[in-house]
Amino acid sequence: MNLDFDKDANRILVALLSETERRAVANRRCCADDVNQWLTLAYIERCAEYHHGAAVYLPNEEIAAANSFLWQCLGTGMKTRFGKHVGKCAAQLANQTSLYFPDYETLLEMRFMAFMANKPSLSEIKMSGLVRQAVGTLHRDMALDVVRRECRRLGLDYDKLFVPQDIYELRVERRSIRQISR
């Protein structure tokens, strides 16, 4: 059983996110009560940007998105302290997202359902990074069923692959391990 948990990266990532939250509140980008939600939604948006237009969900793209997200979080004076650790922190964040953003799956599901409720076109669904992120992260049956149902309504007569099976099974295994350890 591989948890992909890096204790050193965890320590650094917690400090980096804490400083990012402190600065966001101090600069009035969000209020203290909403800072975790604000940061989680920023992470979801960054991942959706990286998955946009991809053929399938790939974990390496999420790591690249996490890397970009963390660089975006680094403010003045933070690069010397955290910059050299961004790579390993990005892998940690991408592999253990719900540990750092407890409402991640709920907010991702809400964003996904809102996107699908807006009746996107078939090309919008096929290009959407948010769809790939949701199908790769959320309970596959739910997200994939919603996408497939909408694709059928729009005339697609085959099942589009959004996440390769082996990648999905690995993510489900990680989610199960996290839920057992709670």
**pLDDT tens-digit readout, 136-175:** 888 767 888 899 889 889 988 766 666 666 776 766 666 5
Residue 30 lies in a domain: yes
Residue 1 lies in a domain: no
Residue 144 lies in a domain: yes
**CB under 8 A, 24+ apart: contacts of 74-81:** 74/16, 75/19, 75/20, 75/23, 78/16, 78/19
Residue 38 lies in a domain: yes
Please compute the mean of the pLDDT values over residues 46-51 and round it to a whole number. 94
Looking at residue 1, what is its pLDDT?
Answer: 35
Q: What's the pTM?
A: 0.85
Mean pLDDT of all residues belonging to the chain? 86
What is the number of structural domains in the chain?
1
| CA–CA–CA angle 170, 127, 158 (5° rounding) | 75
Residue span of the structural domain in which 45 resides: 7-181
Measured from the Cβ of residue 46, the count of other Cβ atoms closer than 10 Å reads: 21
Residue 2 lies in a domain: no
Residue 93 lies in a domain: yes
Residue 67 lies in a domain: yes
Residue 122 lies in a domain: yes
